[in-house]
Amino acid sequence: DAVYAKVVEGTLSISGCKAGATVEIFSANGKLCRQAKVQGEHTDIDVSQLASGIYLLRVGKTSVKFQKQ
C-alpha cells in the first residue's frame, strides 16, 4: 500500500489502498481518533472535527504522520 499525507485542513484523501482496508487516525499521544474503511480506489475522510496538531494515519502496516491545521 502506498500512503501519502501532508498538511490537511478538512478532508484527508487516501488513494491506492485496497477496498475494505481499515484506516485509523491516532493523536500524537496514541489515542484512536477516527476509524474508517477504504471504500474504493479513492477515499476521503473528514478530519475537520479534529483539533489542530500532528496525527498518525495507519492503513494496514503502513503509517504516515500528517498535520491537521
Which residue type, as a one-letter code, is found at position 48? S
The pLDDT value recorded for residue 24 is: 96
Contact status, residue 46 vs residue 9, Cβ threshold 8 Å: no
- Using DSSP, state whether 52 is helix, strand or coil: coil
The pLDDT value recorded for residue 4 is: 56
Residue 18, burial from CB neighbour count under 10 angstroms (0-12, 13-18, 19+): exposed
Q: What is the pTM of this model?
A: 0.84
The pLDDT value recorded for residue 8 is: 82
pLDDT digits (tens, 9 = 90+) for 24-58: 999 999 999 999 998 888 889 999 999 999 999 99
Q: Is the pLDDT of residue 3 over 80?
A: no
E strand segments, the chain: 7-8, 11-15, 22-27, 32-37, 42-46, 53-59, 62-68
The pLDDT value recorded for residue 17 is: 84
